[in-house]
Structure 1
């Protein structure tokens, strides 16, 4: 296979990037077909392919089979304040620290999906069941109204949860959602623990979030523990494209960092 010229493909990527930014190729438009464009420019098609791949890595385009390379809307980077307070909305139920603003409408992309299927290792570990055990998963893709997909949300519900609160398997579990049904069944008050990692998306995640697989994602996992049994009964995994979010937290001064400086204050342990 012919290797693309680094100078040529970088130059072409720069030119196309400029045309995307100045509106020559607006969001929703399609870049020229790869081989026809290479003939027009008099360069090898692998050079054009390399330029397109670079733009896809940057999140400017998305290549879809049989549709071509489509110019994406510029991502809206939203702030997530990493608080630890769970609040409650009378209409929606529990509200976790997230990127939404008060009263901001959100939309669901496609149809929410629920199915019993083999769970990933981290979920079976939390539920203390055998690896690859089948568990109920509720999946939805959501975003603020009018924006492209912002997050992929998978909620895994233990067998114990479904048995004690069967309505959580319904498409619409009722006011307050599945969490209210669990607490009504005796598992309240539920305690939650959250953890976050940054990783690369798999092919299905990239497709649902409409991003290239080369764009990292932020994954946050919230584990809900039953007050009745002391065991995990629900695990919710959120996957958010890395170019659409920034984490914000307010720093606080420790005792040794007060102003004015106290010269006799012993230093705090780094641990």
Structure 2
């Protein structure tokens, strides 16, 4: 075998899962059986299973064994670079329009993560308003995303922004009423591994990362008024967006294939 034995065993099991020899919901052989069939120790077999679990391919279920995880069909979040509004307020993705807060928002004051502090233009020791929400399907009660808004204390303290119910239109209407109109937004999309609390709330299997969409809200003078950090299962959601022609990309007849390039 080339490389550590447990990785070779994990590679063999991974290929068997990918080929459908172990379909979703199937139980893999027991640790003892894997050890015997491959001529390895039980500890090495456990390490192989642990690697597959860390990848999110399997999960260890009490009294059943190692089960091949069901991989949900991903739902696309279409970020059309527009902000929408309905009778309840603003939303940035039509897929999530029907989602509602499943719990009363948690309001607190505290230090933001370092990257958020930099976006807000403050120091890492500055207190900010933190608004945490759990959003999901109101019929099933299933959490779909965790959304946290961070607002500078100088803007939010002593205002309706710091109350549980911010009123019609939410924090964006309140910010514009405070003289920060028109608001503008910018988003970045990334990923990271979840904290134990995030994994538990979103029912993430071991090894499943978070899809992270970070949105900044700015006023007309460019001041960052809010940073919104939205997290959801990267196993269940993906981001899509339309691609349109720039004026420079209009069709021109003629020319050889060598004159053009695609990236």
* Superposition TM-score tier, normalisation by shorter sequence: 0.7 to 0.9
* Pair 1:89-2:86 in alignment: yes
Alignment of 1:237-248 (within 5 A): 237-248=229-240
Pick aligned residue for 1:236 from 206, 228, 238: 228
Deviation of the 1:152 alpha carbon: 1.9
SS at match of 1:154: strand
CA distance, structure 2, for counterparts of residue 206 and residue 125 of structure 1: 26
CA distance, structure 1, for counterparts of residue 122 and residue 248 of structure 2: 46
Deviation of the 1:186 alpha carbon: 2.3
CA distance, structure 1, for counterparts of residue 248 and residue 225 of structure 2: 41
1:225–1:232: 8 Å Cα contact kept in structure 2?
yes
Alignment of 1:213-232 (within 5 A): 214-227=207-220, 230-232=222-224
* Pair 1:121-2:117 in alignment: no
Superposition RMSD in Å: 3.9
Deviation of the 1:162 alpha carbon: 1.4
Deviation of the 1:187 alpha carbon: 2.2
The answer for unaligned runs of 5 or more in structure 1 is: 26-30
- Equivalence for 1:77: 74
The answer for unaligned runs of 5 or more in structure 2 is: 37-41
TM-score by length of 1: 0.70
Alignment of 1:1-271 (within 5 A): 5-6=6-7, 8=9, 14=16, 21=24, 23=25, 38=31, 44=42, 47-48=45-46, 50-58=48-56, 60-61=58-59, 74-90=71-87, 92-97=88-93, 99-100=95-96, 105-108=98-101, 112-145=105-138, 146=140, 148-163=142-157, 166-212=159-205, 214-227=207-220, 230-255=222-247, 257-259=249-251, 261-263=253-255
Change (3 A) 1:235 1:247: same
Q: How many residues align?
A: 246
Deviation of the 1:147 alpha carbon: 7.7
Per-residue deviation, residues 139-163 of structure 1 (Å, max 9, x unmatched): 1232345385432211001112313
CA distance, structure 1, for counterparts of residue 248 and residue 160 of structure 2: 52
CA distance, structure 2, for counterparts of residue 269 and residue 10 of structure 1: 38
Deviation of the 1:127 alpha carbon: 2.8
